[in-house]
Amino acid sequence: MVTKEEIDPAQAFESKLMSLNKTMDELTARGDSEVQQFYHGTTVFVTGGSGFLGKQLVEKLFRATKVAKVFVLLRPKKGKQMLERLQEMLKDPVFDILRDTQPDFIDKLVPIAGDVADMRLGISNKDWDTITEETDIVMHMAATTRFDEPLRVATLINVRGAREALLLGKACKKLKSYVHVSTAYAHACDFRINGDVLEDFYKSPVDPEALIKLAETTDEERLNKISDNLITNWPNTYSFAKAVAEETVKTLGENMPLCIVRPAIVVPAKREPRPGWTDISNVYGASGTMAGSGLGLMHALFTDNETRVGLIPVDYVNNTTIAAAYETAKRVAAGDNSIKIYTVTGSTRNPAKWGKLHEYISTESRKYTTPLAVFYGFAWQTTNPIIFWIYSWLLHLIPAYVVDAVCFAIGKERRFVKIYKKMYKLQVVLSYFTCFQWRFIDDNTAKLFDSLSETDKVIFEFDVNKIDWKEYMVIWYVGIRKYIFKDGLKGTVKGVQRQQIFKYLSFFIIGPLYFYALFKLFFWSLLALCYTSRYLLSIKLF
């Protein structure tokens, strides 16, 4: 029998949080709330269902409602066909609870071959007819979220894809509600820094159809050359394309039962289906910083301690989406055909500054350090790009070149320079969001939550005021351990002890020796340069 003392602290932390879901599970099992009744017996069509956001949405729909069927748009990827991708998707731990409690959900999950980047979403005529005959609710979540995506790709997926999904929605004969998932940063332009971003439509930076035509007909190399001029005031092609897509929604979505959900930076789950759930795709965003710090690999941060970070857990985003679809149908049935926008972020009503979050990581999360960490977790922060470049060389790249040289000498793969270059690029891209801030007005979202019944507030929680950021930073880190590092949430005591050893080694031995070696290298290089200059000068004079 396992005693209480033998339970790993990380496992105990997770178990404690899971026990808090008991009331939610009991109310969910009753199935009689207003939101649950709305979804009962409906058919939902989801794009982006295999992504980080989409998987948790699909899981929540099946776990919390009695939907009759969920169509999921899937495209072939990396040589894997649609059914292979579905099987791969269903292996994700996000479906673990669902597999145990409702194993027949798989029979209600119907894959649809297609690609959001194609005309008519790449859907066959037969499937198109089936979807438009049966679908009650459409949730368009598919998008490329890469910030450095070429403009052509971002346009075809995020703008034309939005148009084609809307056309599908218009063709649905039983459509009750349509949700378009955008981003809070669609209109977080440089001229709105420190200002308000309203839950309203803004003037599009370019006509959507003109941009689509440009992407369809212009040579990609030429389009890339004019990309920077086109996206002026926007930090990247992702947020730019999302802004243009909202204009498509505004025009094509007129007289449709439609709403827009704008999440900020989506991070691991706060509680559903398990606290900290995430997947590997989430590491290419803010979670990459958490993962790098957790392993003791990332020590230079391009951030402003005073910035209110726009983080929001994935389950909060999807609970908002589910509730927004219900509210939209209800509102339209009452004669209100306006398009409501719901911004989902913790930075306005429950702000947490980056400096405070970093403090929580350094104190609270350190109590649950993974035994896989290879060095002491510390970080130097700056908002200056030149200083960040210097920090990156001192703390990341120079050690990486040394380690790669050793790997080369012993016949091992050289990968550390490549990893740190990716880290550097990631932080530079994210710096727009970690060094600047906006006040995202989220009144519609707050009113939506307040309008729900007490039961639905528990089942579909998205009240950002209930997020305890100190606790959440631990949830985030433990989630990274379980779903990315996959260390089994074991060896925490060992990991914490090793951190103490790494701390003394880094501050009293390795650190001083490293910087002394750099100083000597610089000194002797400078001395050699002086002697060389004098020698060349003497030759010239002679």
Q: For the chain, what are the domain ranges?
A: 32-281+308-353+437-473, 494-542
- Please state, in angstroms and rounded to a whole number, the distance separating the CA atoms of residues 285 and 59: 22
The verdict on whether omega for the bond into residue 273 sits within 30 degrees of 0, i.e. cis, is: yes
CATH code of domain 32-281+308-353+437-473 = 3.40.50.720
> What pLDDT does 513 receive?
81
> What pLDDT does 334 receive?
94
Q: Report the 10 Å Cβ neighbour count for 127.
A: 19
Say whether pTM exceeds 0.85.
Answer: yes
Alpha-helical (H) ranges within 253-352 are 286-294, 314-333
> What pLDDT does 515 receive?
77
> What pLDDT does 132 receive?
97
Average pLDDT, 10 consecutive residues per value, the chain (542 residues): 69 95 95 97 96 96 97 83 86 94 94 95 96 98 90 96 97 97 96 96 95 93 87 93 97 94 96 95 85 90 93 97 98 94 95 91 92 91 94 92 90 89 89 94 97 97 96 96 95 94 85 77 73 65 48
> What pLDDT does 1 receive?
42
Phi-psi region of 319 (alpha: psi -120 to 50; beta: other; left: phi over 0): alpha
Q: Report the 10 Å Cβ neighbour count for 300.
A: 24
Q: Which pair of structure tokens corresponds to residue 367?
A: 């109590």
- Write a three-state SS string for 11-63: HHHHHHHHHCCHHHHHHHHHCCCHHHHHHCCCEEEEECCCCHHHHHHHHHHHH
